[in-house]
Amino acid sequence: MNIFETLFLGVVEGVTEFLPISSTFHLLWSSYVLTIPETDFVKLFQVVIQAGAIMAVVVLYAREICNNRTLQKLLLASFIPTAVVAVLLYPLIKSVFFEALGITTSIFALVGGFFLLLEYAIEHKYLKLEKTISVLTYKHAVIIGLCQAFAVVPGVSRAGAVLAAMMMMGYRRDESAKYSFLLSIPTIVSAALFDLYKMRGVALADSAQTITLLLGTIIAFVSALVGVKWLIGYLQQKSLNIFGWYRLLLGIILLLVLFARGL
């Protein structure tokens, strides 16, 4: 990977990590467009730079997490189901979904359609978004964790899965987004450390690769700070429709591209 590719993927990760549009999906397609070979190091890079994005959440919310024991327990209750599923499906995810752009693009588009249906239900009063994190129960925390587990498949979006799950249970959009930010800390840090351990030989192959990982992580951190603050403000006033249409239309276009190329 050259310096441009490192910087570009770092920005893509930071901007998309906390939006409900699947950062992994955008990294996979960015690599495809830039003709970056899907080597073991590139796969590692795509996971490790997520840690940089997570540091943005730590900077913004560390005090709140440290001072709230109940919140810590709720996050743990949400994290455990995701961790169990991720460990069980790790080989399948790495060997199949990261190699199948057609499948991940179809999933990407379908989730966009689901967002539109969810917002339709809210607009027509089938769902009411009134709850805040302060009333979150352990039962709901576990359900959120199970829904987040679906995001181990590229194209689903971890943030999107959490947002949709909480909104279906009546939580406000901005509160759901905030909880997805907080839950990202144990989830993505664990994933990054797990991948680092599994691919430690790749990560330490030479100093140039280590520098590439560090640079990508720093860029992801800076751009994620902007993304987190923007999304909270946006969802206080707006719906998920823009993300639903974005996913649906982009997914269809990319599927046509793959079809035209016979992929």
Give residue-wise pLDDT tens across range 170-204: 999 999 999 999 999 998 888 777 777 776 665 55
pTM given for the model: 0.88
| pLDDT of 161 strictly over 60 | yes
DSSP character at residue 199 = T
User: Distance (Å, rounded) from C-alpha 32 to C-alpha 77?
Assistant: 36
CB neighbours (10 Å) of residue 214?
14
| pLDDT of 205 strictly over 70 | no
Nearest Cα residue to 121 out of 156, 191, 169: 169
Name the residue ranges covered by the structural domains of the chain.
3-260
Greater confidence, 74 or 204? 74
Residues 6+ apart with CB under 8 A from 143: 165, 169
User: Distance (Å, rounded) from C-alpha 232 to C-alpha 32?
Assistant: 30
Is residue 224 very low, low, confident or very high in pLDDT (cuts 50, 70, 90)?
very high
| pLDDT of 159 strictly over 80 | yes
- Helix, strand, coil shares of the chain as percentages rounded to 5? 80, 0, 20
Summary count for the chain: helices (H), strands (E): 12, 0
